[in-house]
Structure 1
Amino acid sequence: MTESRIPEAIDAIIAALTTAQPDLQVWDGPIISGDYTNAVYIGFDGQYEDSEELAVSAQQEWAGIGRNARNEDLQITCSVVVLTGNADTAWKPTRDAAYSIIEAVGQVLRADPSVGLPPPVVAELVPGDFYQETGPAGMQARVLFSIHLKTRV
């Protein structure tokens, strides 16, 4: 019996998103190498710093007296980052693009809340904070959200 479903939950969410939304760039954690483009990040808040980042918060409790099963409650840190060039002078297109990606993630989770994992599993999107940031490459919209996943181990 597994002690936690964190690894398989992250893998299942990434697989579900890449299968259902093939045009969507999905990253497992922060970019290690590659192009920085509009994307959804699973297990990463989208803010690059020189410190560690919380990828998942987990809690467990016994499923019942005398049983050898525990309920596991996961909060998987995620983000959407959308970049625009310096030519843009309004936040609306960047913001709209970020939230269209959030909507795509929500549709995938609503279509299959189990994200392909064996039961019992229920995953849901929990909207979070919206950031508007400027940088040397132009405007950046970043939406921090989490995927709340309830399961049993």
Structure 2
Amino acid sequence: QRCFQVRKTLGAIASPFGCWLVLRGIRSLAVRMERHAANAQAVAEALAAHPAVEAVHYPGLPSHPQHVVAARQMKAFGGMLSFQVRGGLEAAVAVVARVKLFTVATSLGGVESLIEHRASIEGPASPTPANLIRVSVGLEHAGDLIDDLLQALD
């Protein structure tokens, strides 16, 4: 009963293997986050300059409405971004289908780059704009990721 109360109060206890994974990963976290944010910044800038892109939502861009606040509060702007393409639903779905390096999946912040058409995942009642694509930029070479997205947009 006492053990149950401790677990109920403090939460589940991680397994030894889970703890080992955390310890192993924490040593390289700073380097991975630097690459994650630098890659996302480069991808966001490339997307913002493309004529098929209507908007890029990334706090690292000066055009973002909260850029000044984000720059004051953070050292870097993270690896998550979204963008809206011209051409609506069909164009957004086509971009996601044409990428080669990105994995189509719902997740955040991993070492691999992921892409998804959020409205397709959420269904017909989705509040997400039909032309919005969400990207979790990973640790791959930024130039390769940019080239892949640009070929998918063309």
Q: Smaller-chain TM-score range? A: 0.3 to 0.5
Q: Which has the higher helix share?
A: 2
Larger Rg computed on CA atoms: 2
TM-score in terms of structure 2 length: 0.35
